[in-house]
């Protein structure tokens, strides 16, 4: 009976996954377009990261006190770029992708154009949906976050980060597009480097921002399909059009 129950549950999960793929392909009818179903991670309250501590210290006009027993920080080391947890890992930029895949189990999808299907949009904030996108010889990190920027008013923030330097990021343009019920919303901008903080990008609003009512307008039974396209260009101005 236990074996039958486990097998039956696996079949139901497979059916649910295929149904999610079908919904995404119905919203984005482009033939052969890759679809990635992304389940949410309900984040704990973010612990202060190195980025947050540095930002707070800069605002206060002082740096954290140094102690003689602390090791000298290597400027070539990059802290963990995964915004889900306060991860103490740090390493060189070349091994960030390996860390995200092996430690945080973040999926990676290849192709110039993909569909990011975020499920369970109704979950309370803070909640994150994250994938890595590999194309044009580089890897990008797409972060969709549900967060209360103002108490009692959750919003959705979507941004694309290049796993590379800011100079490399300037060579690309990413486009996020929502298309449903004869309505279209598009955000186009230059990706930011993972050397910058995702929290800072969201706080600055330099990303696609949706309030709850707008997100519901483009969602389908609690899932939000976002078309992603990355091109090589020098466009620096972000724009939103509807």
Positive or negative torsion for Cα 23, 24, 28, 33: negative
* Count of domains for the chain: 1
Range of the domain at 92: 32-41+74-232
pTM of the model as a whole: 0.71
In this model, does residue 3 exceed pLDDT 60?
no
User: Is residue 152 domain-resident?
Assistant: yes
In this model, does residue 5 exceed pLDDT 80?
no
Task: Choose between 67 and 46: higher pLDDT.
Answer: 46
Checking DSSP bridges between strand 41-42 and strand 127-135, what pairing results, if any?
antiparallel
User: How many other C-beta atoms can be found within 10 angstroms of the C-beta atom of residue 228?
Assistant: 24
Greatest mean pLDDT among 45-49, 74-78, 81-85, 208-212: 208-212
The domain that holds 160 is classified in CATH as 2.60.210.10
Q: What would the pLDDT profile of 144-181 be if each residue is shown by its tens digit?
A: 999 997 788 899 999 999 999 999 999 999 999 999 98
Instruction: Report in angstroms the alpha-carbon separations of 206 from 12, 187, 218, 237, 240.
Output: 39, 10, 21, 10, 11
User: Is residue 160 domain-resident?
Assistant: yes
């Amino acid at each position: 009976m236990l074996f039958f129950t486990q097998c039956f549950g696996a079949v139901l999960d497979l059916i649910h996954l295929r149904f999610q793929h079908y919904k995404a392909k119905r919203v984005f009818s482009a033939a052969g377009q890759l679809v990635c179903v992304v389940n949410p991670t309900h984040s704990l309250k973010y612990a202060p990261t190195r980025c947050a501590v540095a930002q707070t210290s800069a605002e206060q006009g002082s740096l954290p006190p140094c102690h003689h027993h602390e090791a000298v920080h290597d400027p070539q080391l990059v802290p963990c770029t995964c915004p889900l947890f306060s991860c103490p890992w740090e390493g060189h930029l070349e091994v960030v992708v390996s860390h995200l895949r092996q430690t945080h189990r973040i999926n990676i999808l290849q192709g110039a154009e993909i569909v990011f299907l975020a499920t369970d949009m109704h979950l309370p904030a803070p909640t994150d949906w994250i994938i890595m996108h590999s194309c044009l010889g580089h890897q990008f990190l797409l972060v969709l976050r549900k967060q209360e920027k103002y108490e009692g008013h959750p919003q959705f923030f979507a941004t694309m980060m290049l796993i590379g330097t800011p100079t490399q990021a300037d060579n690309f343009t990413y486009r996020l597009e929502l298309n449903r019920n004869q309505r279209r919303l598009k955000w186009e901008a230059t990706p930011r480097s993972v050397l910058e903080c995702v929290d800072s990008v969201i706080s600055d609003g330099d990303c696609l921002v949706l309030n709850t009512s707008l997100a519901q307008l483009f969602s389908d039974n609690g899932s939000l399909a976002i078309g992603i396209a990355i091109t090589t260009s020098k466009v620096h101005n972000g724009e939103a059009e509807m």
